Amino acid sequence: MLLYLQNNIWTILIALTSGGMLFWSFFGNKIRGIKEVDHIAAMQFINHKNALMLDVREQSEYAAGHVLNSKLIPLGKLKERLGELEKYRERPIVVICRSGDRSASACAFLGKQGFTQAYNLDGGIIAWQKASLPLEK
């Protein structure tokens, strides 16, 4: 057994690393305390709970197509523009980016600032488009 491990250490390490990465991709946001919603739940929040759609992409990405009535605050400017979100503190905020990574970071930040109803849109704008939901330019 020891000889097998010695002869195959790199294969074993690669397998363990890729398994860890796969685990993190599925459970990382839950471990970090980030709540995720799919496009259906996001629409329910918008229609029934007057949720804010917060887009944390860059201006050029936003201009190419964004969710109707969404508010743009690029992730890099979120800390300095946090005051603009104060009036939404008690409402759900659905955070969106291209794929869900930047918006997850934004949700983690908002949670630390006391925004208890910040939700990451799972799959981001890509998932929104795949569901044939409307975008405006």
pLDDT in tens, 33-69: 688 999 999 999 999 999 999 999 999 999 999 999 9
Query: Do 65 and 93 share a structural domain?
Result: yes
* Count of beta carbons in the 10 Å neighbourhood of residue 123: 19
Query: Do 20 and 63 share a structural domain?
Result: no
Query: Do 38 and 26 share a structural domain?
Result: no
Residues 6+ apart with CB under 8 A from 130: 123
Query: Do 73 and 26 share a structural domain?
Result: no
Query: Do 105 and 41 share a structural domain?
Result: yes
Is 107 a member of any domain? yes
- What pLDDT is attached to residue 85? 97
Is 137 a member of any domain? no
- What pLDDT is attached to residue 13? 78
Token code pair at residue 113: 């600032």
- What pLDDT is attached to residue 20? 62
User: Mean pLDDT score of the chain, rounded to an integer?
Assistant: 89
Mean pLDDT of 90-100: 95
Query: Do 85 and 37 share a structural domain?
Result: yes
Range of the domain at 6: 1-31
Contact 123, 37 (CB under 8 A): no
Query: Do 38 and 8 share a structural domain?
Result: no
- Per-residue CA distances from 43 to 10, 48, 60, 61, 135 (Å): 46, 8, 24, 21, 13
The owner of tokens 């946090």 is 82
| Confidence check: pLDDT of 32 > 70 | no
Residue 66, classed as helix, strand or coil, is: strand
Query: Could you tell me the sign of the dihedral formed by the alpha carbons of 5, 8, 9, 11, in that order?
Result: negative
DSSP state of 136: B
Is 136 a member of any domain? no
Is 91 a member of any domain? yes
Is 135 a member of any domain? no
- What pLDDT is attached to residue 21? 66
Q: Provide the whole-model pTM.
A: 0.79
Active site residues: 97
| Confidence check: pLDDT of 7 > 90 | no
Q: How many domains does the chain have?
A: 2
